[in-house]
Structure 1
Amino acid sequence: MGAEYNPILAVDSYKASHKWQYPDGTAHVSSYIEARTDKSGLEVPGTLVFGLLPHLRRLADTPVTEAAIAQAKTLFSAHGVPFFEEGWRRILDRHHGRLPIEIRAVAEGSVVPFSNALVQVVNTDPEAFWLTSYLETGLQRALWYPSTVATVSWAVKRILLEFWRTTSDAPVESLDFKLHDFGARGASSAESAALGGMAHLVNFKGTDTVEALLAAAEYYGEPMAGFSIPAAEHSTITCWGRDGEADAYANMLRQFGGPGRLVAVVSDSYDVFHAVEALWGGKLRQQVLDMGGTLVIRPDSGDPVEVVALVLKLAAKAFGTERNAKGYEVLNPAVRVIQGDGITPRTIRAILERMKADRFAIDNIAFGMGGALLQKVDRDTFSWAMKASAVEGGGLWRDVYKDPVTDQSKGSKRGRLALTRDASGVWRTVPVETCPEADNLLRPVFRDGEILSTPRFGEIRARAEAALREP
């Protein structure tokens, strides 16, 4: 926390002893990273790969230094594990502190079926064979979290697309603002908020996570990746007192309303149903209509399915609806609803199922997701792993693998690997010897301390969006 990044120490302690555990004569170790299986229950076809570039930038910008070696030597000595000072000094002296490795990866934004190699890592200096697996901690951490958040967010967009197709005749681009990131305060750190929030923005353009905007600009060259609107919180409403609830709402309309503008107002500080029926739909109805923009009513407690259903019915009664070409009701453009409490992919589906049964189009609602988006994920959500699959010594490559009898799901791949996709769209991990270089989708992204690929955010979004349209 606050300490300067040291690439030697971005590691699990036990890695420090691994140099002495390889067979004599080992010169190269090739490892791969994969998301093995879907344990989320989201039934997604694969993982949306995202977030490797920030880590590569860190590796490129932070070569090994004399000070880093000294710090590591002192720490590991006190910590009780050996330190391979000679090896790190070779990297400093021979490679000017640049890590002698090559990293290949599938293009960010790709949605790749589970149990495929997504990244492959190999050392480029034969005397640094131990470095490949040493880097596992940082590489896995850099990839599994943003990729998992991006995949969860993408899974929600699939759900939204399903209901858009059946209930809406609005442009499909309207889905870009249907899931808003409310997760900054619930993230475990500012870095998590930046990485996870940025991962969400691969699929959507609504966010309140400012760190994500900064990260998308810094790493992927996106000047403004997401947008928000003025919105109330309970403190700004309740400070007017219960008797002043209508005045608090009227103030929001005066301050932020206007033609073409949106303003979100949390409306459950006391009684959300009374607020919709008697205040928004009664005392303030004409002010809502006259402002020329859109009031977004936000319930924030209770059963999300039941509360949203009743709020929509009350809003429809107060402001009216229009039936679209698919036979579903759309509220007066002056009013919409956003549900941000208790939102997960499952509750989103449940709310939309209820809305569909009640003949309300998806146009009427947006969702805010916080902890379930940025925090309720872990490495096991999609079973991420990095494993050695081949070693070389004396000019000969040899397959290595694990195959535990106690858990076949933890078996690993063997050999040097390539990732391909045929004309019908089927992804396969194949031996690299059988794959022409031009067909290998694991492309070099980092070699000997230099970044070889710098994808733009728009490219990543386009890949994710294209995958969404696939059968």
Structure 2
Amino acid sequence: MKTQENILLLADAYKYSHHKLYYPGTTKIYSYLESRGGQFDETVFFGLQYFLKYYLEGEVITTEKIDAAAGFLEQVFGRQDVFDRSKFDYIVQKHGGRLPVRIKAVPEGTHVPVNNVLVTIENTDPECFWLTNFLETLLMQVWYPCTVATLSSAVRTIATEYFQETASESAMAAIDFVLNDFGFRGVSSVESAGLGGAAHLLNFNGSDNIMASVLAQRYYGANRVIGLSVPATEHSICTLLGEEGELEVFKHVLRTFPSGTVACVSDSFDIFRACSEYWGTELKELVLSRDGVLVIRPDSGDPVFTLLRVFDILMDKFGYTFNEKGYKVLPPQVRVLQGDGVTVDTIRHIYSALKINGISAENLVLGMGGALLQKVDRDTQQFAFKCSYAEVNGEATDVQKHPIEIDSHGRLVESFKRSKAGQLKLIQTEEGYRTIRKEQGPAFKDELVTVFENGALTYEVNFEGVRERACKEKKEVTVD
């Protein structure tokens, strides 16, 4: 269903004055989006197609929407000379309500080193020069799925390295389910759940975030449900009969799902007693006789020390084997899930601790909620949207900022916020991706593709293709 949001109200308030503030004679504004740095040295580009389809495609400006915005914005500014409805009436009359802009972008799923152009946008009608940066507010929000995709990819890199070092070859396929998205309840909106969750699914298949697969199908044409899950308890189930009834609840869980994978949170009262006396003693034979996997879940305490103690107990009670790389592996009917306090940093610490203690990474799966979908912001990868080229009174003009700031030693230095100048293209060399001016390197293909022009999507990707590209371009990274 097409969005009912009024695109005339999807900009920062101050932008409604810009059609008057641009210097007289301006006919072209060309801007670009980049990640200027941040936590990771590359960015996985993803999510633009959703914004194009949901907000920008088709006849998005109508007389009715202009009428509604006019009254609203007069109240916002307390004056009538800021919002000029004639600018939007022109788009209705001349372009049928379709946005006269051209947007180029790197194909989604591409891993691009920071400080490179990811998206460019320019007006295609000289009368609509102001529209380019009016759309910044909305288009900038692509920072979110890009950042989640990048973070999730980094976790995949860490997991892969430790699996390669400590896990059996037969367990390598399990990497697809190492990190599970537990973030639906912790995000700011259903839209965030869908966008961030779909970004995670570029790297992993495990997810309890239903909206992730919905968005992947609805806006990226995924031909199947991507995010997969298993039956699992929560504390309301495991505490229902009180502390004295926890064992009976555990029995009920195993009997309810006598085959397949089932996860059971086990720290409601005493995780170590649950592992030693209940799962490892009273229910041991029932667990080992199942045609499936019991995933035991601690959900409190220090992740590293809790996991080491849990594995020590489970391996004592259930036994273990050594895989071909010399690391301990629980019986295939038993695994452990850590879903509390999981971040990129704690994942490194957890895997390192397991390796030091001779425990294979294949014994553990992870769940990540707020740290995956919510504890990121635009500055995690330092996203910026800047004008780099304009045409004023018929003259082409490079546009650039290069501010000076004072560093911690009191010295005047050039700010990292220096922007790029000119019309840009992204090229691929033997050293990797690089941003150059449009007129440079004529022998190099521009990796930026026109994805949107004058109200229409001109280049559409499907989710499976984006996943394939994200996997293919992934760099090999050594664990610290």
Identity rate of aligned residues, in percent?
A: 43
Q: Say if 1:299 and 1:339, in contact at 8 Å, map to a contact too.
A: yes
Q: Say if 1:6 and 1:62, in contact at 8 Å, map to a contact too.
A: no
Report how far residue 25 of structure 1 moved: 1.6
Report how far residue 184 of structure 1 moved: 0.5
Aligned match of 1:408: 415
More displaced stretch, 222-231 vs 398-407: 398-407
Correspondence 1:177-216 to 2 at 5 A: 177-216=177-216
Aligned match of 2:449: 443
Aligned match of 1:241: 242
**CA RMSD in angstroms, aligned pairs only:** 1.5
Correspondence 1:45-60 to 2 at 5 A: 45-58=41-54, 59-60=56-57
Aligned match of 1:390: 389
Match status 1:65 vs 2:66? no
Correspondence 1:79-228 to 2 at 5 A: 79-80=76-77, 82-141=82-141, 143-170=142-169, 171-222=171-222, 223-228=224-229
Following the alignment from structure 1 to structure 2, what is the Cα–Cα distance between the partners of residues 401 and 206?
43
TM value normalised by structure 2: 0.94
Structure 1 residues 68, 436: CA separation in 2 closer, same or farther (over 3 Å shift)? farther
Q: Equivalent residue of 2:57, what SS?
A: helix
Following the alignment from structure 1 to structure 2, what is the Cα–Cα distance between the partners of residues 177 and 402?
44
Report how far residue 436 of structure 1 moved: 4.0
Count of residue correspondences: 462
Q: Say if 1:181 and 1:200, in contact at 8 Å, map to a contact too.
A: yes
Q: Say if 2:103 and 2:119, in contact at 8 Å, map to a contact too.
A: yes
Q: Deviations over 1:70-89 (max 9, x none)?
A: 11111111111611211111
Report how far residue 4 of structure 1 moved: 2.9
Aligned match of 2:466: 460
Following the alignment from structure 1 to structure 2, what is the Cα–Cα distance between the partners of residues 395 and 253?
75
Structure 1 residue identity aligned to 2:166:
T
More displaced stretch, 25-34 vs 61-70: 61-70
Unpaired runs of at least 5, structure 1: none
More displaced stretch, 8-17 vs 453-462: 453-462
Aligned match of 1:304: 303
Q: Say if 2:294 and 2:334, in contact at 8 Å, map to a contact too.
A: yes
Q: Deviations over 1:356-386 (max 9, x none)?
A: 0110111000100000001001111111010
Match status 1:420 vs 2:427? yes
Following the alignment from structure 1 to structure 2, what is the Cα–Cα distance between the partners of residues 459 and 49?
13
More displaced stretch, 54-63 vs 342-351: 54-63
Q: Say if 2:427 and 2:444, in contact at 8 Å, map to a contact too.
A: no
Following the alignment from structure 2 to structure 1, what is the Cα–Cα distance between the partners of residues 172 and 433?
27
Q: Deviations over 1:96-123 (max 9, x none)?
A: 0000000000011111000100000000
Following the alignment from structure 2 to structure 1, what is the Cα–Cα distance between the partners of residues 115 and 167?
36
Q: Say if 1:25 and 1:394, in contact at 8 Å, map to a contact too.
A: yes
Structure 1 residues 233, 70: CA separation in 2 closer, same or farther (over 3 Å shift)? same
Q: Deviations over 1:272-327 (max 9, x none)?
A: 01110110000000000111210000000011000011111111111111111111
Following the alignment from structure 2 to structure 1, what is the Cα–Cα distance between the partners of residues 327 and 257?
30
Report how far residue 425 of structure 1 moved: 4.6
Q: Equivalent residue of 2:287, what SS?
A: helix
Match status 1:337 vs 2:336? yes
Q: Deviations over 1:218-277 (max 9, x none)?
A: 01111211100000000101002211111111111111231xx10000000111011101
Unpaired runs of at least 5, structure 2: 406-413
Following the alignment from structure 1 to structure 2, what is the Cα–Cα distance between the partners of residues 438 and 357?
47
Structure 1 residues 347, 283: CA separation in 2 closer, same or farther (over 3 Å shift)? same
Q: Equivalent residue of 1:440, what SS?
A: coil
Structure 2 residue identity aligned to 1:232:
T
Structure 1 residue identity aligned to 2:220:
Y
Structure 1 residues 112, 168: CA separation in 2 closer, same or farther (over 3 Å shift)? same
Following the alignment from structure 1 to structure 2, what is the Cα–Cα distance between the partners of residues 64 and 114?
35
Following the alignment from structure 1 to structure 2, what is the Cα–Cα distance between the partners of residues 392 and 8?
25
Aligned match of 1:347: 346
Q: Say if 1:47 and 1:111, in contact at 8 Å, map to a contact too.
A: yes
Q: Say if 1:7 and 1:62, in contact at 8 Å, map to a contact too.
A: no
Q: Equivalent residue of 1:468, what SS?
A: coil
Q: Equivalent residue of 1:19, what SS?
A: helix
Q: Say if 1:63 and 1:96, in contact at 8 Å, map to a contact too.
A: no
Report how far residue 394 of structure 1 moved: 4.5
Q: Equivalent residue of 1:193, what SS?
A: helix
Following the alignment from structure 2 to structure 1, what is the Cα–Cα distance between the partners of residues 334 and 252?
17
Moved over 3 A (4+): 393-396, 435-438
